[in-house]
Homo-oligomer: A and B are copies of this chain.
Amino acid sequence: MISTASAAAHPNIAFIKYWGDNNQELRIPAHSSLSMNLKELETRTRVSFDPSLAGDQLILNGIHEEGAALQRVSKMLNRIRNMGGLNAFAIVESENNFPTGAGIASSASAFAALSCAASSAAGLCLSERELSRLARTGSGSASRSIPEGYVEWQAGTDHDSSYAFSIASPDHWDLADLIVLISEEHKETGSSLGHSLADTSPIQGARVEDANRRLEICRKALLERDFSIFADIVEQDCNLMHAVMMTSDPPLYYWFPGTLEVMRAVQIWRSHGIPVCYTIDAGPNVHVICPVKEAEKVKRELGSLEGVNSVLECTPGGPTHLLESDFPGV
């Protein structure tokens, strides 16, 4: 008997970043983080446990994947098979409506959707908190893609205490994330390897020690919709993560000249009174954050910068959810 379920999940953009683990195997992070789901970007994943299969299969955007990608998915499926008492292998079919590996955190939505679809197909009925924990074991930031809107991932100290929860619904604050695509080349160092290098930087300890201060400032600014305080702390937190990356051994550089051009422009615009700030994940793209009502103006300004190819506009997104019927195209 084949058992199938499908789920959809959004990637998220972290305002207070996750970088570095206390437990790499379980992805218990070194500190808490805070993010917003991105409504317009979505991963849709169908999982079918099929007793006739000789091994797990992964079809990503229509292409059969082998090697490390498949192994990482199988590891998650093993965890779920253990939880559900299943033996069957599965076919995992997954599609992103955005470019993979270009610095938009595709592993977050991928493992959120996979956890949701696979646990459902395995007959498990997991709570949001249980799903968040489960997704975390596949990709740390996937834990934040499970709940809706604005999300805090409580670092915790073990599997049970490390999960994410919503601190505000998507309609709490009309923020736009204008994702400026600098380069869609596949990034050189994946996040998983990067996290393991964090502790080789002489400043990671200080960054982690300071994380709760930043988180509390950011959470308060977000709940009070205070853009000015929000902007300063989001940029400082982003710079701290990239500082650790660039001073680890070996160093990781994610910024390109175009990245810095947008960073500088954003700061000038803010100094001229436009409510706008930037944040950057483990890739060259710049996430330019502003209130939705400023988005048209900011997009026009971004369009005037050299080296800006395209801009994706995102708004706060809902939670990871099961899809009633199979989604079209898979």
Contacts and interface: CB of A to CB of B under 8 A. Distances in A.
Identical copies of this chain, number: 2
B255 A260 contact: yes
A210 interface: yes
Interface in A197-250: 202-203, 205-207, 209-210, 213, 232, 235-236, 239-240, 242-244, 246-247, 249
Contacts of A259: 260
A257 interface: yes
A323 B185 CA distance: 57
A260 B256 contact: yes
A286 to B, nearest CB: 12
A303 to B, nearest CB: 17
Interface stretch (A12-20, A118-126, A158-166, A261-269): A261-269
A302 to B, nearest CB: 15
A255 B263 CA distance: 10
B235 A240 contact: no
Chain A interface: which size bin?
Answer: 20 to 34
Contacts of A249: 232, 236
Nearest to A261: B257
A207 B207 CA distance: 11
B240 A202 contact: yes
Interface in A48-91: none
A143 B167 CA distance: 53
A251 interface: yes
A249 B243 CA distance: 15
A253 interface: yes
Nearest to A264: B253
A16 to B, nearest CB: 13
A318 interface: no
A258 interface: yes
Contacts of A242: 243
A235 B203 CA distance: 15
Interface in A258-303: 258-261, 263-264, 267
Contact of A251 (B209, B239, B251): B239
Contacts of A236: 247, 249, 251
Contact of A253 (B213, B243, B267): B267
Nearest to A210: B202
Contacts of A257: 257-258, 260-261, 264, 307
Given A202-B207, A243-B243, 13 more contacts: A202-B206, A202-B240, A205-B206, A236-B247, A236-B251, A239-B246, A239-B247, A239-B251, A253-B264, A253-B267, A257-B258, A257-B261, A257-B264
Q: Top 10 closest A-B pairs, CB basis?
A: A243-B243, A206-B206, A257-B257, A202-B210, A203-B203, A239-B246, A257-B261, A203-B206, A257-B260, A239-B247
